[in-house]
Structure formats: C-alpha cells, structure tokens
Amino acid sequence: MSHKIDPARARNFASVLQEIFAAPGRSRKDIADAIGISVASVTSIAASLLEHRLISESAPVAAGQGRPRVPLSVDTDSNLVMGIHLGPRVTGIVLTGLDGVAKASVLVPHSGMAAATAFELVIAQAQKLVADHADGRPVLGTGVATGGIVDREQGLIVENAGAGWSQVPAQRMLEALPQPLVLDNNARAAVAVGDLGARSLRDQGQTLQIPSQDQNVVRYFEADQQAEAVK
C-alpha cells in the first residue's frame, strides 16, 4: 500500500546522497553542515541508506577531543544498476556499481531491425549480462537513453529517424528489464550512457541516478552519435 512522501524529507535524502557521492568519506556532521540540516536528520537518513545497502561506513576516525567521526561512502559492491544506450544500429548495455564503475558491458548489433526485434535481442543480452556478472546482487533499475524525440512521461520513443523507429512504446516493451526503468532522450540523459535509474527507495521516494564510466560503451556511444548526426 502506497503512502504519502514528505517532500522535505525527500529533498533531504537527495541532498545527503549527493554529498556522499560527491565527497565520499565525510561524516554525518560534515554532511549536516554542508546541507544545513541537523545531524539527527542526517543520522536518520543514513540509517535507512545503510539498511538498503546504498552506502557503507568505514572505521571511526579520531577527531581531536570529540567523538570519532565515522566516514560514509557509496556502497559499491552490494547493488548494481543497468544503463542502456539504444543506438540506431548498435545498443550498448552496461552493469555498474552505485559509484558508476562498470562491472560488465556488451554491445548488441541490430542494424535495420524493427524495434520489436531489436528489443528482443537487447533484453536477451541484458538478461545474460545479469546472469553472468551480477553474482546474486540485485539490479536496482535501468536507465535507457536513445536519440530522436522521446516522451519520457509516456515511456514512448516518438521518433528515432536513425533507427527508423516511430511511436514505439519502449518502456512497456522493455518491462522485462530491471525496474524501475527510466527512458529519456540522449540530450536529457544524465551521462552518455543515459539515466541509470536505481531503485526508488519506497519509504523516501528517491531515485538514484548513477553515471557510468564504462569506456567501451562510452566510446561506442560517441562514435555512434557522430554517425547518427551525419545521416
């Protein structure tokens, strides 16, 4: 059963996560001072993030005469996210940790194929990537980017001229991929490989967006975008 999410708490969650991603190793007090909220609020948020294995604690560090500070960092090992770039001829798929560092990737050729046929190949290769490399870790979500015109709210590829696709209900057609799934246009995607949507924390209503540093996929993306631009 769904329940109402406190917008202020949701903003604080996002802010705490941003601070931890931007500067790993900071203490709860450091984060509270940077954001401008109470240490108690950061402590409560950190407890939930630790429970969901999205962050981790390091050994306490002495801090003068005060209490030792406990560094907080992104948990890079417990969970994965999936990023996909749907290219006009080749699709890149990457599994990353929450720090954006790639664990595994694959390229899926589908030149000239209809969207339904191409998506079947993409889903099969994505599932194989998870089976071969997840090692039992949950995949918290999928971010998908593609060229052309995308209606994010409807989960629809309105038109991708390079691929020859139009009015494609991609979000529905890709529902076999790890959920939640975020679909967007390349220009609005968080990074080259796209919005890597990690799972929404149900009690906080937050969705993580994780960049990918997989050079194989990024290099493909850059080359593919150049080819698409001159078509």
Convert the pLDDT of each residue in 171-199 to its tens digit.
Answer: 999 999 998 898 988 877 654 333 343 33
Q: Which residues, at least 6 apart from 189, have a Cβ–Cβ distance to it below 8 Å?
A: 143, 145, 195
pLDDT above 90: percentage of residues in the chain: 47
Superfamily of domain 80-229: ATPase, nucleotide binding domain (3.30.420.40)
Name the CA dihedral angle for 207, 213, 219, 223, rounded to a multiple of 10 degrees. Answer: 30
Extents of the domains making up the chain: 7-74, 80-229
pLDDT for 54 equals: 86
The mean pLDDT value for 201-223 works out to: 39
pTM attached to this predicted model: 0.73
Q: Pick from 99, 104, 101, 100: which is nearest to 130 by CA?
A: 104
Q: Which CATH architecture has domain 7-74?
A: Orthogonal Bundle (1.10)
